[in-house]
Structure 1
Amino acid sequence: MGATAPTASTARVPPPPVLRGAAGLRERARGALLGLAVGDALGAPAENMKPSEIRARWGRITGYVAECPCGTDDTEYAIFSGLLLARHGAALTPALVGAAWHEWIADREEGPFRGAGFSERGTLENLRRGLAAPISAQHRHAWSDGLAMRAAPYGVFAAGRPAEAARLVAIDGSVSHDGEGIYGGQAVAAGVAAAMAGAPVVAVVASALAAVPDDSWTARSLRRAVTAAHRGERAVRSAVVIGGYPWTDLAPEAVALAFGAYAAADGEFTDAVLTAVNMGRDADTTAAVAGALAGAARGAAAIPGEWAAAIGPARGSCLPAMAGHHVLEVADLLTPSPDSPPAPAHEPAETLP
């Protein structure tokens, strides 16, 4: 059954835990990136499927259906962006992003996935021709969810600062995406940044909307999805999916489905991820984003242990340079150590919507 309107049962969903200080921040960071990888692995078998096809094959997906679950390009590109961010932090520039694409992807032998989705392949072709940002992003799939799938590390890094998360992810995206592709990444990064501060679902959604143009396709789809969320996953899907459109990696659609699943579950991790998975379409990405949002809000402890235990180091099947890196390693690189003294304040805190 899909998620339903708020009732006495959904009212019993526990609020986000109180996670304070460096230890709490790291718990949320680990929840965000482990949640992304878990959602990716859960959703991968359902990618590009319709809900009717999912039901015919599995009934309803309630856990891993793959024999050896693992993350796909979504997880490996998120690790890539996390390592890039750990290296440069707030000093990130398009030139540094382009250099990392060359160092870790374009100038190396590719894995079996050949650089992953269409937006990544188009970017790699342009980079190998000697083009740089923003021209490297001028290809037919600049509107894809390829930036959204790797945006969560920016929300982790800029915890509680959605505008800064949106600024940084747009710099990353300038090499590979444009327009709605950038907006999708900004919505995800800003939403995760708000969730990292313990914001409730309504404030997480508001932060995402505040990061993108109000009249953008991304904003319109996101509003439709969260408005329909109380009526369950079928309503969310009907509100945003472009019927008959062949590409399922359309950023405004995928990001809206992810936020709709997150809102339909009232931020609870398991329900958010499984709602995204069972809606099909680009299920690995939508579940990865929903998992990042819910994991950031509730911490790694909210992720079922058997799901978390299945996530190992990246295999490098898409990006060989990412082989051996674990999402938890990246989460720790992006957050202060619990044993470190508090850093002096150097930036004003943002006021969440």
Structure 2
Amino acid sequence: MSTTTGVVWGRAEQQDFRGRVRGTLLGAALGDALGAPVDRLDLAEIQAEHGVEGVVDLLPAHGRRGAVSHLTQLTLFSVDGLIRAQVRRDTGAWHPPTDLHRAYLRWAATQRDWGPDERRAEDGWLAREEWLYARRDAPRALLLGFGDDVMGTLEAPKNPAEPGPEAAARSAPFGLLVGWEPQLVVQLAVECAAQSHGHPAACLAAGAYAVIVHGLARGDDLDGAVQKALALLAVRPGHQPVSDALQHALGAVRQGMPGPGRVAELAREGSAQELLAVAVYCALVGEDVRHGLCLAVNQSGPSGAAGALTGGLLGALHGETALPPAWLAELEGRPTLLALADDFAMEMTQGPALHGPGGSSPGWLARYPRGA
């Protein structure tokens, strides 16, 4: 089955796409950084510490303002894995879930090693970024899921009872595959979620999130992108919890002024589908990116994941220029995020010129080796 939909890349289309790629990755990282300092606090504790409005600005976490968590680290490795998959396609070795799994194993090495192994050229440039070797409270499901070389699959998933949002929160890059058919975007995100979060709802929440980003990156409005996701979910066994959560989010928009109470109703236990609902709701009702992100993180569930999911939607919808500049200025790893975003956009629009049959760039293949 072909993955392409015949996207024509004129100059204006390339510029718009790059802005949405940057917006998605930076937006998700900003949401992660905004929520990380209060990730383990309930709403009452957040308000007691930061006032009735809760978090309204970046706060210190992990020793600095603007620090990101394992969620952003893994999102970066998702992008790296997708670029490597495209490069490896030239060899005939075309199995993106395997390439993503290899990328996630490179992330897992950052959680064990003191720093990059400069001797391993096949790791590529991202795995040599020293700031990514900071350990940022990755949950047990991730450490177990990527703790050995065995890849979880839909038939034999890792952590089959794990309903958390971490797999969904690393899945925005799949939605940026705008040349892919939407159902294949869902499938890839679901298969990659099973590598660490094998609960059916967690996998389908990742697929739904990815395809909503996909719709936004292709120019849909958010309501339209959610409706398309619901249609794609409807044919998949076990979809009801995720579909119900999305419908709940759409219904909450019509129930009056947004506030922590409505977010709490959606967040509930902090499962993947519930935080997906929070993200959709906050992106729909937020007056701007700042407001939407603050709504998402001021609640008793996993604030970092809620912020990351919301930021990915808002960034894909509005592009990088809508993001708060004062927050971007303090965002940890911003140069890496921008470089990776631009590499992804170039690979997706100019791949054949970088490593096609007519010639290749040695520098590009050093950044994204065709090896493991």
TM-score scaled by structure 2? 0.73
Q: Does structure 2 retain, via aligned residues, the 8 Å contact 1:272–1:290? A: yes
Q: Which runs of 5+ in 1 are unaligned?
A: 1-18, 315-324, 344-353
Give 1:119's aligned residue: 141
Q: Is residue 327 of structure 1 aligned with residue 321 of structure 2?
A: no
Percent identity between the two aligned chains: 23
Q: Distance in 1 between matches of 2:326 and 2:206?
A: 29
Give the SS at the match of 1:95: helix
Amino acid at match of 1:202: D
Is the alpha carbon distance of 1:76 and 1:216 closer, same or farther for their aligned partners in structure 2, counting shifts above 3 Å? same
Q: Is residue 80 of structure 1 aligned with residue 101 of structure 2?
A: no
Give 1:220's aligned residue: 244
Q: How far apart are 1:107 and its partner, in Å?
A: 9.3
Q: Does structure 2 retain, via aligned residues, the 8 Å contact 1:161–1:194? A: no
Give 1:261's aligned residue: 282
Q: Is residue 189 of structure 1 aligned with residue 210 of structure 2?
A: yes
Q: How far apart are 1:298 and its partner, in Å?
A: 0.7
Residue 100 of structure 1 is aligned with which of 90, 98, 103?
103
**1:341-352 mapped onto 2 (5 Å cutoff):** none
Residue 31 of structure 1 is aligned with which of 23, 48, 51?
23
Q: Distance in 1 between matches of 2:349 and 2:134?
A: 41
Q: Is residue 43 of structure 1 aligned with residue 64 of structure 2?
A: no
Q: How far apart are 1:132 and its partner, in Å?
A: 4.8
Q: How far apart are 1:177 and its partner, in Å?
A: 2.4
Q: Deviations over 1:128-158 (max 9, x none)?
A: 6x56535763326532212111011111223
Q: How far apart are 1:159 and its partner, in Å?
A: 6.3
Q: How far apart are 1:183 and its partner, in Å?
A: 0.9
Q: Deviations over 1:76-103 (max 9, x none)?
A: 0000111001110483344333333444
Is the alpha carbon distance of 1:23 and 1:55 closer, same or farther for their aligned partners in structure 2, counting shifts above 3 Å? same
Give 1:155's aligned residue: 175
Give 1:62's aligned residue: 56
- What's the C-alpha RMSD, in Å, of the aligned pairs? 3.0
- Structure showing greater Rg: 2
Is the alpha carbon distance of 1:65 and 1:97 closer, same or farther for their aligned partners in structure 2, counting shifts above 3 Å? closer
Residue 201 of structure 2 is aligned with which of 169, 180, 186?
180
Give the SS at the match of 2:65: coil
Q: How far apart are 1:23 and its partner, in Å?
A: 0.5
Q: Does structure 1 retain, via aligned residues, the 8 Å contact 2:263–2:296? A: no
Amino acid at match of 1:39: G
Q: Deviations over 1:209-233 (max 9, x none)?
A: 2342475211111211221124313
Q: Which runs of 5+ in 2 are unaligned?
A: 1-10, 114-132, 354-372
Q: Does structure 1 retain, via aligned residues, the 8 Å contact 2:145–2:152? A: no
Give 1:234's aligned residue: 260
Q: Does structure 1 retain, via aligned residues, the 8 Å contact 2:215–2:225? A: yes
Q: Distance in 2 between matches of 1:64 and 1:107?
A: 25
Q: Distance in 2 between matches of 1:201 and 1:114?
A: 31
Give 1:346's aligned residue: none
Give 2:330's aligned residue: 310
Amino acid at match of 2:15: A
Q: Deviations over 1:24-68 (max 9, x none)?
A: 110111011000111100111121322222211112221112242
Q: Distance in 1 between matches of 2:190 and 2:16?
A: 27
Is the alpha carbon distance of 1:102 and 1:43 closer, same or farther for their aligned partners in structure 2, counting shifts above 3 Å? closer
Q: Distance in 1 between matches of 2:182 and 2:347?
A: 22
Q: Distance in 2 between matches of 1:114 and 1:303?
A: 24
Is the alpha carbon distance of 1:115 and 1:87 closer, same or farther for their aligned partners in structure 2, counting shifts above 3 Å? farther
Q: Distance in 1 between matches of 2:175 and 2:95?
A: 15
Give 2:13's aligned residue: 21
Q: Deviations over 1:326-350 (max 9, x none)?
A: 222222122137996999xxxxxxx
Give 1:321's aligned residue: none
| Between 285-294 and 67-76, the greater mean CA deviation after superposition | 67-76
Residue 220 of structure 2 is aligned with which of 195, 199, 204?
199
What is the total number of aligned residue pairs between the two structures? 307
Q: Does structure 1 retain, via aligned residues, the 8 Å contact 2:110–2:134? A: no
Q: How far apart are 1:192 and its partner, in Å?
A: 0.9
Q: Distance in 1 between matches of 2:296 and 2:309?
A: 9
Give the SS at the match of 1:263: helix
Q: How far apart are 1:160 and its partner, in Å?
A: 8.0
Q: Does structure 2 retain, via aligned residues, the 8 Å contact 1:42–1:284? A: yes
Give the SS at the match of 2:275: helix
